[in-house]
Amino acid sequence: MPDLSAFAITHKWPAQHPDRLQLYSLPTPNGVKVSIALEELGLPYEPHLVSFDTNDQTSPEFLSLNPNNKIPAILDPNGPGGHPLALFESGAILLYLADKTGQLIPQDAAARYETIQWVMWQMGGVGPMFGQVGFFNKFAGKDFEDKRPRDRYVAESKRLLGVLNQRLVGRQWVMGDQYTIADIAILPWVRNLIGFYGAGDLVEFSQFTEVQRVLDVFVARPAVAKGLNIPARG
């Protein structure tokens, strides 16, 4: 049985199953990327809720694994060479899990890099822009009288949705027929933008019919439906 006691994070979130991959997360768009991937891959894992309500993400134990104090993070007791591996950043974790299992990413070198390209597109554009729309539409930003900051992020989010919509024309998924980590990276953010953030009308989502088509198929997947609620909120 692996001994994970050297990792301080396990002192706050003890591993009941130290032979399983440990997930430290919250069901946000970034967090559910990893839980969905784990469900799709069928890897044994143990989820731990990192509660923002109690500032768990700034605790010394969490910072010992992720100094950037963001979820998700993982601790894989069976990492490369049989040694434990601690990892943060959702895009890096998705790529690691895909490489670990040889699934959810094309084996052809060119298609592999194209998939990674779309994951980076989400990380660098979709996440930050959609998140800002959420701030200005749902949270404190909605009280700002000056709507220019909000409108700037709305315009960029619409542009990004247009890029994705065009990419999906004639394709089942971002990479064509193969469902990959690119879909798992991007689509939870789309779902959150029009769902939790309530910004569907603001970004005129009804015009992005290809995105809606693929999103509907995505959320109907059993692994996605389960992963969207992991870790369960207290």
pLDDT per residue as tens digits for the range 36-94: 999 999 999 999 999 999 999 999 999 999 999 999 999 999 999 999 999 999 999 99
> Where among 48, 72, 103 does a domain terminate?
103
- Is 58 within a domain? yes
Average pLDDT, the chain: 96
| CB contact at 8 A, 126 and 187 | no
Q: φ, ψ for residue 30 (rounded to 5)?
A: -75, -40
Please give the residue range of the domain that contains residue 80. 9-103
**CATH code of the domain covering residue 14:** 3.40.30.10
Q: Are residues 25 and 117 located together in one domain of the fold? A: no
The average pLDDT across 191-220 equals 98
pTM as predicted: 0.96
Q: Are residues 113 and 206 located together in one domain of the fold? A: yes
**CATH code of the domain covering residue 208:** 1.20.1050.10
Predicted confidence at residue 100, as pLDDT, reads: 98
Q: Are residues 96 and 133 located together in one domain of the fold? A: no
Candidates 99, 169, 159; CA nearest to 130 is 159
Q: Are residues 132 and 155 located together in one domain of the fold? A: yes
Q: φ, ψ for residue 67 (rounded to 5)?
A: -65, -10
Predicted confidence at residue 2, as pLDDT, reads: 80
Q: Are residues 119 and 94 located together in one domain of the fold? A: no
Candidates 163, 157, 162; CA nearest to 135 is 157
Helix axes 127-137, 148-168, angle to 10 degrees: 140
Q: Are residues 92 and 148 located together in one domain of the fold? A: no
First to last CA, the chain: 29
Give the number of domains in the chain: 2
Q: Does residue 172 have a pLDDT over 80? A: yes
> Where among 103, 129, 151 does a domain terminate?
103
Give the three-state DSSP class for 186: helix
> Where among 103, 136, 167 does a domain terminate?
103
